Amino acid sequence: MNLPRSPRPAGQAALQRRTLLRGAGLGLLGAAGLSGLAACGGDADSSAGSSSDGSSGLGELTVQLSWIKNIEFAGEYFADSKGYYTQAGFSKVNLLAGGSAGTAAEAMVLSRKAHVGLSSPTLTGPAIVNEQAPLKIIGTTFQKNPFCLVSMEQGKPVRSIADLAGKKIGIQTGGNETIFDGFCKANGIDKSSFEIVPVQYDPSVVVSREVDAFMAYLTNEPILLAARQVDGQPIVPVTLGFADNGLPVVAETFTVLQTTIDDQRDFLKAFLKAEVQGWNDAVADPQGSADLAVNTYGKDQDLDLAEQVAEAQAQNELIVSDDTKANGLFTMTDALIAENIEALAQMGTTITAEQLFDLSLLAEVYDENPDLITG
């Protein structure tokens, strides 16, 4: 179910970005408290946990998306529209849209209202450590941290860590502050050397020069800015990516209950196979991905087709790497896992790889279906 949106100027749909992952912060997981959910575990609503409805081997699948139904979930749209979920054995798939007022993926999974939640180690890790939530990440769509600082060539561009000195940097309050603190710690940045300005999620503050740089998603705000003008000239965005500067945290991860891994392993492997098939298609067809987002799954979101194509192309850079070409989508090398554990520690969450990740199901999927590795 899509959440209602606040009125805004035409063409600004994409400004409604990830206040859930960005703004919720580390350990803030929506209206449902984790302590209560984790405690009631098996007694919670089990409607999403049913493994069969009698008509198809695996029954219904429910996936909690991390945001509104835009291009970010193109792989899920292909998996649904091309019948990959059905071929995997599911009688139906429910793709639940998220939003700034929605319940976080971790809470939905813990309450058994979703089998899988799309999230991030920056949310799942603290839930495990601080709330003893019985969760695991079984794969990741984005191989690279999507966060960046975006500035303008026409203003005071921030191309490097050294360029931060003397600048005004727009940071959203909440979780983004924690992530930015981790970025600073990872790079030995003295925050007194620049001014932090509290902002919302609209990059117009860069255009108006209220700030010199703005914390953003590589796949979103830089593209929005590139479509605008300043002083009668098209804006030339400049980005400083966190992934390449000390904070390589993955994103759009698949978060599940440990008990689902233990008791419904084939269910999750079927899900992963369908997801790989869908995302292989999405990566290969940005135009088709955008069409599904704009005209079908996100039809009520007033999405712009050209913008969604551009975002699909940009997110492919985060999804596909040399390692995924060799090992398959959603996989993580030991080195990438270690980098994520270290990055989380920089943000104040001490956790082991074994506590956070279980990529054995994905490995089995690829062992059984080597043709899914498309290179």
Residue 6, domain member (yes or no): no
CB 134 within 8 A of CB 41: yes
Residue 7, domain member (yes or no): no
Residue 3, domain member (yes or no): no
Residues 24 and 125 in one domain: yes
How many alpha carbons lie under 13 Å from residue 331 in its C-beta half-sphere? 23
DSSP 174: S
DSSP 372: G
The Cα 255–Cα 105 span in angstroms is 8
Closest CA to 299 of 102, 117, 77: 77
Residues 261 and 349 in one domain: yes
Residues 168 and 289 in one domain: no
How many structural domains does the chain have? 2
**Confidence at residue 18, expressed as pLDDT on a 0 to 100 scale:** 45
Which range marks the domain in which residue 302 is found? 13-144+249-372
CA-to-CA separations, 218 to 148, 215, 232, 237, 241, in angstroms, rounded: 6, 10, 24, 11, 7
**Confidence at residue 98, expressed as pLDDT on a 0 to 100 scale:** 87
Residue that terminates a domain, selected from 216, 241, 266: 241
CB 281 within 8 A of CB 82: yes
Per-block mean pLDDT, blocks of 10 residues, the chain (375 long): 28 39 42 41 38 64 94 97 98 89 86 96 94 98 96 97 98 86 91 96 94 94 93 96 93 97 98 98 98 98 95 96 98 97 91 98 98 94
Residues 222 and 253 in one domain: no
CATH of the domain at 158: 3.40.190.10
Residues 215 and 109 in one domain: no
How many alpha carbons lie under 13 Å from residue 48 in its C-beta half-sphere? 24
Residues 135 and 160 in one domain: no
DSSP 34: H
Residues 92 and 135 in one domain: yes
- For the CA atoms of 222, 23, 121, 66, what is the dihedral angle to 10 degrees? -80
**Confidence at residue 368, expressed as pLDDT on a 0 to 100 scale:** 98
CB 276 within 8 A of CB 268: no
CA-to-CA separations, 140 to 2, 96, 145, 299, 337, in angstroms, rounded: 24, 18, 11, 26, 11
The Cα 120–Cα 344 span in angstroms is 11
Residue 177, domain member (yes or no): yes
Residue that terminates a domain, selected from 212, 241, 270: 241
Kind and range of the H or E element at 216? strand 213-217
The Cα 213–Cα 148 span in angstroms is 10
Residue 4, domain member (yes or no): no
Residue 288, domain member (yes or no): yes
Residues 17 and 131 in one domain: yes
SS3 state at 97: coil
Residue that terminates a domain, selected from 224, 241, 258: 241
Could you list the beta-strand ranges (E) of 98-201.
Answer: 116-119, 135-142, 147-152, 168-172, 195-199
**91-109: b or e for each residue (b if 16 or more CB lie within 10 Å)?**
bebbbbbbbbebbbbbbbb
Residue 21, domain member (yes or no): yes
Torsion region of 102: left, alpha or beta (phi above 0 gives left; psi -120 to 50 gives alpha): beta
Residue 5, domain member (yes or no): no
Residues 27 and 119 in one domain: yes
**Confidence at residue 52, expressed as pLDDT on a 0 to 100 scale:** 38
Strands 135-142 and 251-257: antiparallel
Closest CA to 360 of 261, 287, 276: 261
Residues 23 and 140 in one domain: yes
Residues 132 and 173 in one domain: no
Residues 140 and 153 in one domain: no
Strands 168-172 and 213-217: parallel
